């Protein structure tokens, strides 16, 4: 692999980093404590064109690639994981299937305004009893003439309270496991589609998450994404690899923030008459985090680069997600230890990094699921 950032990618990362330093970092704690969707920052990002960074210019996008998209996710997560989660959903999972499989009319009516921040999209896969095992979902889509009727309950749906359209995973073949899953476009206001209770979470407080209930939701057959039954599993496998890489990029951003905060505190905190960074125990903590960060960055951007080369590798994508998310949790934990009792205080960001890092462990496949994927790919 011969990979390095292009001049354009480096410039874009620097522009996003400057935005994060000026606009996000100063208000990150306030965003978190309000526990509300960061609408003002979201709209600023939309006006900059970053919601469409990975989509063609013909639909209002920037024509960027996977590496560029993940650089954006990394920098935003360095400032606020809640904001990064909302943007990542809009710029990938919430809009990708409409772009790839929607009709031209659907793209013009939903995708184009979504890339401008005028509409919100989300994806609804997880259920109360089906997270890692998507083949176990119970939401049904029954063919009825030229329509489908959807019934079921979805859980942990990001931006659901704000969404104008949903990509819904439902079973068309109830006994076929994962191969029986297909994807449907369902718009806000469709009778029977209801956003249920909000979910109060340990971290990412400003990323609104809710359940979604479907009761006899009737949609035209044209809203079966992919055009025919039985394609959903293959479509999901592709995007799940991209989501894993994106989660790795979010993890890198949080790790960087935790390391920077830890280093600064260690240089300022005096104990036993000297800054605690002079103690070898603290030096080793910082060195270990920095080393894992560099390794995680290499894995994540190798995986993103391979996607751009048309060489998507599920094994490397799973490795990237696994190692980067575990690194973020390690870095956040070490930050609270370096801060000591102040790591337990809400006035310092160490506690927010610790809480937000847990979010990275569950989305796009738990560490255990990622290890399963890696082992399965090794055995091929």
Write the DSSP string, 58-118: GGT-----HHHHHHHHHHHHHH-HHHHHHHHIIIIITTHHHHHHS-HHHIIIIIHHHHTTS
Structure tokens at 127: 């259920």
Tell me how long the chain is. 380
- Domain 121-229 in CATH 2.40.110.10? The answer is yes
pLDDT tens digits, 314-327:
999 999 999 999 99
Task: Write out the CATH class of domain 233-378.
Answer: mainly alpha
Contacts of 379 (CB under 8 A, 6+ apart): none
Q: What percent of the chain has pLDDT over 90?
A: 90
User: CB–CB of 112/60 below 8 Å?
Assistant: yes
So what's the architecture of 7-115 in CATH?
Orthogonal Bundle (1.10)
Structure tokens at 277: 């960074």
Q: Where are the beta strands (DSSP E) in the chain?
A: 121-124, 140-144, 147-158, 165-171, 181-187, 193-198, 209-220, 224-225, 270-271, 274-275
> What ranges do the domains of the chain cover?
7-115, 121-229, 233-378
pLDDT tens digits, 320-376:
999 999 999 999 999 999 999 999 999 999 999 999 999 999 989 999 999 999 999
Give SS3 for 268.
helix
pLDDT band with cut points at 50, 70 and 90 for residue 237? confident
Cα distances (angstroms) measured from residue 226 to each of 41, 193, 229, 336, 365: 33, 22, 8, 47, 23
Q: What percent of the chain has pLDDT over 70?
A: 99
């Amino acid at each position: 692999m011969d990979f390095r950032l292009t001049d354009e990618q480096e410039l874009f990362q620097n522009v996003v980093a400057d935005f994060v330093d000026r606009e996000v970092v100063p208000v990150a704690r306030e965003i978190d404590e309000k526990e509300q969707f960061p609408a003002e920052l979201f709209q600023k990002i939309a006006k900059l064109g970053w919601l469409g960074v990975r989509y063609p210019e013909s639909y209002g996008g920037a024509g960027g690639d996977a590496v560029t998209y993940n650089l954006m996710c990394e920098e935003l997560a360095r400032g606020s994981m809640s904001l990064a989660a909302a943007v990542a959903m809009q710029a990938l999972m919430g809009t990708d299937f409409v772009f790839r499989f929607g009709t031209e009319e659907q793209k013009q009516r939903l995708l184009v305004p979504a890339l401008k921040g005028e509409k919100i999209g989300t994806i609804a896969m997880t259920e109360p009893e089906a997270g890692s095992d998507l083949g176990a979902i119970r939401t049904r889509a029954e063919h009825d003439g030229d329509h489908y009727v959807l019934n079921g309950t979805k859980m942990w749906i990001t931006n659901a309270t704000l969404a104008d359209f949903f990509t819904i995973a439902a079973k068309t073949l109830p006994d076929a496991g994962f191969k029986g899953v297909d994807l449907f476009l369902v718009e806000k206001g469709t009778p029977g589609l209801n956003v249920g209770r909000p979910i109060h979470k340990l971290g990412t407080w400003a990323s609104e998450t809710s359940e979604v209930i479907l009761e006899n939701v009737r949609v035209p057959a044209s809203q079966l994404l992919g055009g025919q039954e039985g394609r959903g599993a293959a479509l999901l496998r592709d995007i799940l690899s991209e989501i894993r890489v994106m989660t790795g990029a979010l993890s890198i951003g949080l790790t960087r923030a935790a390391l920077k905060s830890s280093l600064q505190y260690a240089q300022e905190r005096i104990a036993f008459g000297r800054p605690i960074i002079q103690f070898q125990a603290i030096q080793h903590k910082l060195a270990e985090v920095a080393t894992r960060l560099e390794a995680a960055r290499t894995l994540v951007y190798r995986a993103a680069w391979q996607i751009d080369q048309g060489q998507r590798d599920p094994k490397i994508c799973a490795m990237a997600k696994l190692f980067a998310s575990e690194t973020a949790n390690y870095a956040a934990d070490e930050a609270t230890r370096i801060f000591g009792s102040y790591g337990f205080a809400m006035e310092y960001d160490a506690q927010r990094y610790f809480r937000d890092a847990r979010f990275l462990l569950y989305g796009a496949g738990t560490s255990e699921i990622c290890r399963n994927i890696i082992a399965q790919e090794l055995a091929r």
